[in-house]
Structure 1
Amino acid sequence: MGLLSEGSPLSWPETKKLADHVREHGITQFINLYNLLKDRQGDVLKWGDEIEYMLVKFNHEEKKAQLSLRAQDLLPVLQITEKENPEKASSLWRPEFASYMVEGTPGKPYGGLLAHFNVVEANMKNRRKEVSALLEKDEHILSITAFPRLGCEGFCVPEVKPDPVNSASRSLFFPDEAIYLAHPRFRTLTRNIRERRGEKVAINVPIFKDVKTSSSFKEDLSALGNDGEKGKNALPDHIYMDAMGFGMGQCCLQLTFQACNIKEARTLYDQLAPMCPIMLALTAASPIQRGHIADTDCRWNIISSSVDCRTREERGLEPLKTNRFRINKSRYDSIDSYLSPEGDRYNDIPLVIDQEAYQRMRDAGIDHLLAQHIAHLFIRDPVSLFSEKINQNDEEDSDHFENLQSTNWQTMRFKPPPPKSTIGWRVEFRPCEAQITDFENAAYVCFIVLLTRVILTYGLNFLIPISKVDENMQRAQKRDAVLNEKFWFRKDLVAQNSSESVANSIGIEQDEISVEMTIGEIINGKGDEFQGLLPLISSYLSSVEVDADTHCTIHQYLRLIQKRASGELMTIAHWMREFVTKHPDYKGDSIVSEQINYDLLTTMDGIQNETIECPALLDHSRSKTQSSIPDPIRMAENCPSTC
C-alpha cells in the first residue's frame, strides 16, 4: 500500500493548502537522494514477493461465507517476532486497506542463488500457517483477488451496514468498518479522494450477459439510502460500485527487485513494462464483482477507478479554471514513459508534467527521462498528510517525496534507496492478480524473476511503443483474454538499438518492431517466427548450475505457466465463471447468490489446502520446495559478487 507514516491526519482542505509545500519539498528530497546515491554500485540481486490475503469466515449451517473484519486483532500478534527478534522472523506482516486483509512478505529478501527459487513456496506456506494458527473456528485465510459478494448485504462479519450520509466514502455498499481503521492512512485516503474529486468515485464494470440477464440491466439503488447522488453515475448494463474499498479491497501479488545500480534498475523498469499486461491476463482471477458475473476477468480498471481523484476539469469534462492540468489517467494505472535511454524512442504518449519541478531537477543535474518521470508523478496532489510530517529535514527525510511516489500506483514503480539505508535502487512489478494456491503464486513469482535474469544475461530487448502497452492493458482485462485476444509484443527480442537506428533511418516504422501474438505464442513460442519466453528461460537454465530439487521445482512452475498460456489449463477467472454458471442454483441471470458464493469459496479453500483436486486449474502441483537452502549450496553466497 506504500508509505505508512503515523500521525494526526489532516482534512482535505488542510491538505490542499499544503499541496505546493509537499511538492516543493518532495522534489528537493528527491534531488538530494539522487545526488547522494546516483553513483551507488555493487548492490547484489535481491528480490521478494508480497501477497495480500483475505480473512474469510464460513457459516456452515447457513451456507454463508463472509469477510472477517479482524485484521487489526491479528496483525499485532503476527508482528511480535519481527519487533522482538527480527533476525528470526521468517515473514513480515503489514496492514492493507481493508480490515479483512493482511499483507505478508518473506522475512528477508531472496538472493542471487537459483536455490532461492526452491524456498519461495515453502515461505508462502509458512505465512499461511502463521495466520491460520491465530484464526477462530471456521475462519480461514485465502489468497483470492476478489471476494465475489463484496458490497452485497451481509458480506462481512460482524455485519455492519453502510452509511451513505456520514461515512468517509458515502458508499451505498461498503461500510467504513470494512476499512482498516487501526491506521489513519486508509480512511483518510478514502475521504480525501472523494472530497478532492468533488463527488464519489464511480466504478462501472460491464456485466456478463447470460440467457436470463436483463436486456437493459440496471439496478434500482433507491432502497439503499440517499447518498446525495442517487446512483447518477451508474451505467446501464454495468455493475456499479462507489467506493475505494471495491478496488483497494482486492488482493494482488507483487514483486520487488533490487538492482546493482540505478542504470540496471532503469533497464529492468523498462523491459518489464511490456510484460505487465501479459502477466495481468495470465493471472486473471476476478470475474465476479459485487455479486454479479462481470464481462471482464481482472481488477485493474476497477482499482484504477476506485482511487480516481481527478476533478471534472482534470478529466476534461469542464474547462480548466481552478485546476492546473488535464490528466489522462487515474493515479492508479499503467506507466506513461520509459526511463532508460534505449526506451526513449518508444515514449510516444505526450506526458503532462509539472514544468517547474522538471526544470528544478534538470538544473540539479538529473537527466531528461528521469526528471520528466518524477515531474509527471508530481502533477498530482497529496491525498493523505499528517500534521507531524509537515516540516521535515530535506537532507535526511524523504516522506514528502514518498507521499506522492507511493500514491501513484502504477504497473511498475521505480524506487530510490531510502535515506540512511543499506537498500539499493529497486523496481516493483505490480500487475499480477493473487492466485488460489501457494504453488501458483510461487510459480508466477519465479517465472518473472527468471525472466529478469534472462533479460540481463542475454541483453534482451522487450521494448515496444508505450501506447501499445496501454492497448495491451485494456485487452488483458477482457473475458478469456488468454484464449481470445492478441497482444502487441516485440518480434525480435535480440535486436539491439544500433540495428534499430539503421532500420529507422531507412524508413522502417516503430510499429513494425512489434506484432500481435497470443499469450500462448508469447510464452511458448511461434515456430520459427518467435522463440517464446519459456524456451529462452529453459536455455538460460541449461547454462547454469542448479541442484536437482530446485530444478524439479522450477520445471513444475514453468509447466504451469506453459499450460495456462496455451489454454490447456484454465485461468482462475475462467474456472470461477464456469463454476458459477454450472452451479445447480445458478439461474442464468449473472447473479452469484449466497449459496453459490459459499460453495465457490469452500472449494477454493479446499484447493489451496490440497484437500480438493482441480485438474482444470492444476494438473500437477507438487514441487520439492523446502524452507531453507542446504548449507553446501548456501556457502556459494559467500562468493564475491560479480555485480
Structure 2
Amino acid sequence: MGLLSQGSPLSWEKTQRHADHVRKHGILQFLHIYRAVGERHKDVLKWGDEVEYMLVVFDHQNKRAQLSLTGEDVLHTLQEKGERVNPNHPTLWRPEYGSYMIEGTPGQPYGGTMSEFNTVQDNMRKRRQEAASVLKQNQAVCTVTSFPRLGCPGFTIPKYDPTPVETGASKSLFFPDEAINKHPRFSTLTRNIRHRRGEKVVINVPIFKDKNTPSPFVETFPHDDGEAARATKPDHVYMDAMGFGMGNCCLQVTFQACSISEARYLYDQLATICPIVMALSAAAPFYRGYVTDIDCRWGVISASVDDRTREERGLEPLKNNRYRINKSRYDSIDSYLSECGEKYNDIDLTVDKEIYDHLVKEGIDHLLAQHIAHLFIRDPLTLFEEKIHLDDANESDHFENIQSTNWQTMRFKPPPPNSDIGWRVEFRPMEVQLTDFENSAYVVFVVLLTRVILSYKLDFLIPLSKVDENMKVAQKRDAVRQGMFYFRKDICKGGNAVMDGCSPAQNGTETVGEEYTLMSIDTIINGKEGVFPGLIPILNSYLENMEVDVDTRCSILNYLKLIKKRASGELMTAARWMREFVANHPKYKHDSVITEEMNYSLLWKCNQIAEEQVECPELLGMGLNKVKYSGSKPGTF
C-alpha cells in the first residue's frame, strides 16, 4: 500500500509545516525522472497483479469467524521463508492497512508471451498455499472484499474494544486501533486524515430494506460524544474510521508500457473500463454487520480517507484553505492524459497554478502538467523526520508521498529513479474474488484488453463526466444486471482494426454527444447485433490471430467464459451470491442484520469454495475451473 518509508512519523501539525517543502521537492523529483527517462522507448511489456488477503479464525464449536490480528507475524514468516532466502522466490509478500491483512504478488513480473497467462492461477494458488502453510489451526487466508461484521463487537481475535479518544489514531466507536497495521505509516495516515479534516471521517451506506428492516432505520451509539449523531443519516449504516475502507481487500494489476506516450494512452482507455469491471467484480454488499444497498466498496473507501476540510467540501467559505475540492483523494480520475483524450476532459480541474506554470516552463506538456498539478493540490499526510531533506536527483519519496496518497481508479506511475523499470499504469477498481480462478480470470481479461487496445488502436473515450456517472451506477446493488452505462458506440477509430463485427468509422464527423450511448454490461462485454460488437468477441478475434498453445488457449477461454456469463447474468457476482446466501440462511430474520452465526456460515462457505472443497455452480459455473488442488478440512488448517 503506497510508500512505506521507515522513520519517526510527524504529527499533522508538524507535517503541515513541511507541506510546501514536500510539494516543491516532489515536483523537482518528478522533473529529474522525466528528464532522465521521458524519451525512453522500447521497454518490454511486463505486468503483475496484487491480491489482498484477510486472515480469518474459525471457531467451529461456537460458530464464529473473527479476523486474526497476526498479519505482521505471518508476513515476517513468509518473507523469511521466501524472498529473504531466495531473491527469485515465486511470491512476494507486503503489509496492508489492517493488522489482519497481507498482500501477495508474483515474485517477478509476467512478460509479453501468451503462455504467461497460463501461469497466473498457478502463482495465485502458490500464494494461497504458502500463506495457509504458516497459519495456526483453524486459521484461513480468505480473499473476501469486505468482512461482513467489520466493526462489530469482538470482530477481532484477540478481542479489543474501540477507544474513541482523541489520543488514538482513529477515535472510532467501532474499529479498535489494534486492528491497524503496526507500521507507523498506517496509524499516522489514520490520525492525520482526521486531524486535517477537523473531524472524524463520515461514511454513510444505505441500508438494504428487507421486509422486517425498521423504517426508518436509525441507530444510536452509547459512547457517542455527539459527533456520530450529527453525522449519521436515517436508513443508512454509519461508519467512522479509515479501517472501514482501507481494511477491505481488492485486486489490482500494473502494466509496464513501452514508452510514456503508450502509458498515457493506456491510462485513458482503461479509465473508461474501470466502472464496467468494478460492477462485474462486485463483491462487497455487507458493512458493520448489516446488509446494505450497495455491492462495491469504492464509495466506502473513498469516504474513509476523505481528508477535505469543511471549506474544501464547500460547506463553509474559503478562509484557511486554498481550494474547493470536488472529490476525496480516493476517487475516479479527473483528467485524461493523452492528446486524444483532451477534448473529453469536461470536469472542472482544480490545479496548483504555481506548480502547473513551473512544470510547463520546464517543458512538460499541458495535459501531463495539469495532471501533476492537480495531484499536488493535496497535502502530504505522512512525513518521517528522517525523510524531510532528500537528494532530489536520486530519490522520489516526496513525489511518491503525494502521488501514492491520490488513490484513483487508474494510477500513472513514473519509473523510480535510477532503475530499469519503465512507465507504468495501475488498474485499481476491482474487488477481490473468492477463488484463485476468478481472480486470474479478471486479471487475464484486463491484461488481454490492454493488448487489444494497443494492437487495434481502440478508442473507448467518452467525456469524463460520463465515466463519473458510470462509477456511481457501478456500485449500486446488482448493477451488472440492472445498470445502464455510458459507452462509446464506435471503438474502432484507428482505421487498422481488422476484427469481426468491428469496422472503422466511415467518417469523423460525429459530435461528442453522438459518440456514446447507454448500454448494459451484457451489451458492452458480450455485444449486441447492430449496437456494439462486445469486448469478448473482440478478444476472441484477437486470440484467433495469435499463436497460442492449446493449454493456454483453454485456460484463457475458461476465464473469458466466466466474464461472459457474469456479464449476462447467467453466473452471479460474488455480491449477489452472498446476498442470496444470507437471504436463505435459516437464522436470517429478514431484518438486514448479519449475526455471528450467519457471518461464520458465510465465511466458512467462502473458504470451502476457495479451497475447492465444494462446488458453487451459480458463482463459478460447471467445469470452468480446470486447475484443482487439495484443500484443508474443517478444523485442520
Q: Please tell me the TM-score bracket, short chain as reference.
A: over 0.9
Quick one: which of 530, 533, 554 aligns to 1:531? 533
Cα distance, 1:292 vs. partner?
0.3
Asked if the contact 2:585/2:598 (under 8 Å) is kept, the reply is yes
Counterpart CA distance in 2 for 1:514 and 1:414 is 25
After the TM superposition, which of the residue ranges 307-316 and 521-530 deviates more from structure 2? Answer: 521-530
Name the counterpart of 1:180.
Answer: 181
Which residue of 2 is the match for residue 27 of structure 1? 27
- Give the structure 1 partner of residue 324 of structure 2: 326
Amino acid at match of 1:310: R
Once structures 1 and 2 are overlaid, which stretch shifts more, 618-627 or 587-596? 618-627
Q: 2:148 corresponds to which residue?
A: 148
Deviation at 1:255, TM superposition (A): 0.2
| Matches for 1:426-465 after TM superposition, within 5 Å | 426-465=424-463
Structure-2 change in CA distance of 1:510 and 1:474 (3 Å): same
Which deviations, in whole Å up to 9, do the C-alpha atoms of 1:436-474 show, x marking residues without a partner? 000000000000000011111111111111111000000
1:345-377 Cα offsets, whole Å, 9 max, x none, are: 110111000000001100000000000000000
Task: Write the distance in 1 (CA, Å) between the matches of 2:382 and 2:364.
Answer: 27
Residue 204 of structure 1 aligns to a residue in which SS? strand
Please, what TM-score do these two structures have when normalized by structure 1?
Answer: 0.95
Tell me what 2:216 maps to: 216
- Is contact 2:41-2:258 (8 Å) kept? yes
Q: Find the counterpart in structure 1 of residue 348 from structure 2.
A: 350
Whether the aligned pair in 2 keeps the contact of 1:81 and 1:89 (CA below 8 Å) is no
- Secondary structure, counterpart of 1:335 in structure 2: coil
- The answer as to whether partners of 2:415 and 2:422 remain within 8 angstroms in 1 is yes
Q: Does structure 2 retain, via aligned residues, the 8 Å contact 1:439–1:621?
A: no
Tell me how far apart the structure 2 counterparts of residues 397 and 228 of structure 1 sit (CA, whole Å).
45
Question: Which residue of 2 is the match for residue 241 of structure 1?
Answer: 239
For structure 1, the residue ranges without an aligned partner over 5 or more in a row are 628-643
Q: Deviations over 1:458-503 (max 9, x none)?
A: 1111111111100000000000001111100010010249999974
Q: Read off the aligned partner of 2:175 and give its amino acid letter.
A: F
Q: Report the CA distance between 1:227 and its aligned residue.
A: 4.5
Secondary structure of 1:130's counterpart equals helix
Tell me if structure 2 keeps the 8 A contact 1:342–1:497: no
Whether contact under 8 Å (1:239, 1:294) holds in the other structure is yes
Question: Which residue of 2 is the match for residue 544 of structure 1?
Answer: 546
Q: Does 1:105 align with 2:105?
A: yes
Provide the residue aligned with 1:90 in structure 2: 90
Per-residue deviation at 1:612?
1.2
The within-5 A match list for 1:469-508 is 469-496=467-494, 503=508, 508=510
Instruction: Determine if contact 2:441/2:559 at 8 Å carries over to the other structure.
Output: yes
Among 556, 570, 574, the residue aligned to 2:576: 574
Q: Matches of 1:500 and 1:347 in 2, distance apart?
A: 22
- For residue 638 of structure 1, what is the aligned residue in structure 2? none
Task: Spell out the pairing of 1:60-75 with structure 2 (5 A cutoff).
Answer: 60-75=60-75
Match of 2:380, as an amino acid? Answer: P
Per-residue CA deviation, residues 548-578 of structure 1 (Å, 9 max, x unaligned), is 1101111110000000000000000001011
Distance 1:401 1:339 in 2: 18
Most deviating of 578-587 and 366-375:
578-587
Once the two structures are superposed, residues 249-281 of structure 1 have per-residue CA deviations (whole angstroms, 9 ceiling, x without a partner) of 000000000000101100100110000000000
Residues 136-194 of structure 1, C-alpha deviations (whole Å, 9 max, x = no match): 1100000010000000011010000000014211000000000001x100000000000
Distance in 1 between the 2:114 and 2:264 partners?
23
Query: Which amino acid in structure 2 is aligned with residue 5 of structure 1?
Result: S
- CA separation of 1:109/1:354 partners in 2, compared to 1, >3 Å: closer, same or farther? same
Aligned position for 1:555? 557
Number of the residue aligned with 1:13:
13
Q: Aligned to 1:563, what secondary structure does the other structure show?
A: helix
Structure 1 stretch 467-476 or stretch 70-79: which is displaced more? 70-79
Is the 8 Å Cα contact of residues 92 and 107 (structure 1) preserved in structure 2?
Answer: yes
- Cα offset, 1:241, TM superposition: 0.2
The one-letter code matched in structure 1 to 2:62 is E
Partner of residue 120, structure 2: 120
**Structure 1 residues 626, 142: CA separation in 2 closer, same or farther (over 3 Å shift)?**
closer
Q: Which amino acid aligns with 1:79?
A: Q
Residue type of the alignment partner of 2:559: Y
CA contact 1:292–1:590 (8 Å) conserved in 2: yes
Distance 1:299 1:358, change over 3 A: same
Q: Name the SS for the 1:616 alignment partner.
A: helix
- Residue in 1 that maps onto 2:621: 619
- Does structure 1 residue 271 correspond to structure 2 residue 269? yes
Query: Aligned to 2:51, what secondary structure does the other structure show?
Result: strand
Q: How does 1:169-208 map to 2 (within 5 A)?
A: 169-181=170-182, 183-208=183-208
Match of 2:635 in 1: none
Retained in 1: the 8 A contact 2:456–2:494? no
Give the drift of 1:226. Answer: 3.7
Q: For residue 14 of structure 2, give the secondary structure of its aligned residue in structure 1.
A: helix
Q: Report SS of the residue matched to 1:435.
A: coil
Preserved CA contact (<8 Å) 2:88 2:108: no
Aligned partners of 1:34 and 1:117: how far apart in 2? 32
Q: 2 CA distance for matches of 1:359 and 1:107?
A: 41
Counterpart-to-counterpart distance in 1, 2:337 and 2:164: 43
Change (3 A) 1:497 1:467: farther
CA separation in 2, counterparts of 1:263 and 1:13? 39
Report the Cα distance in structure 2 between the residues aligned to 1:146 and 1:294, rounded to whole angstroms.
12
Local SS of the residue matching 1:84: coil
Whether contact under 8 Å (1:167, 1:175) holds in the other structure is: no
2: CA distance, partners of 1:371 / 1:72: 39
The secondary structure found in structure 2 opposite 1:428 is strand
* TM-score normalised over the length of structure 2: 0.96
Residues in 2 aligned to 1:97 and 1:167: alpha-carbon distance in whole angstroms = 16
Structure 2 residue runs of 5 or longer lacking an equivalent are 497-503, 630-637
- What is the CA distance between 1:75 and its match in structure 2? 0.9
Displacement, 1:623?
4.5
Distance 1:527 1:497 in 2: 21
Deviation of residue 44 (structure 1)?
0.4
Structure 1 residue 388 corresponds to structure 2 residue 386:
yes
Distance 2:84 2:249 in 1: 28
Letter in 2 for 1:130: E
Counting matched residue pairs gives 621
8 A contact 2:562–2:624 mirrored in 1: no
Question: Is the 8 Å Cα contact of residues 118 and 625 (structure 1) preserved in structure 2?
Answer: no
Instruction: Output aligned runs, 1:31-50, within 5 Å.
Output: 31-50=31-50
Q: Which residue of 2 aligns with 1:295?
A: 293
Query: What is aligned with 1:408?
Result: 406
Aligned partner of 1:283 in structure 2 is 281
Q: Percent identity?
A: 61
* Number of the residue aligned with 1:639: none
Asked if structure 1 preserves the Cα contact closer than 8 Å seen for 2:490 and 2:505, the reply is: no
Conserved in 2, the CA contact under 8 Å of 1:552 and 1:623? no
Deviation of 1:84 after TM superposition, in Å, equals 2.9
Distance 1:78 1:426 in 2: 27
- Tell me the secondary structure at the aligned position of residue 230 of structure 2: coil
The whole-number CA distance in structure 2 between the counterparts of 1:179 and 1:232 is: 26
Q: Could you tell me how far apart the structure 2 residues matched to 1:124 and 1:437 are?
A: 9
Greater Cα offset, 20-29 or 611-620: 611-620
How far did 1:529 drift? Answer: 2.0
Partner of 2:600: 598
- CA distance in 1 between partners of 2:628 and 2:152 (Å): 40
- Tell me how far apart the structure 1 counterparts of residues 242 and 542 of structure 2 sit (CA, whole Å): 43
SS at match of 2:229: coil
Deviation at 1:86, TM superposition (A): 4.1
User: Partners in 1 of 2:582 and 2:224 — Cα distance?
Assistant: 32
- What's the counterpart of residue 168 of structure 2? 167
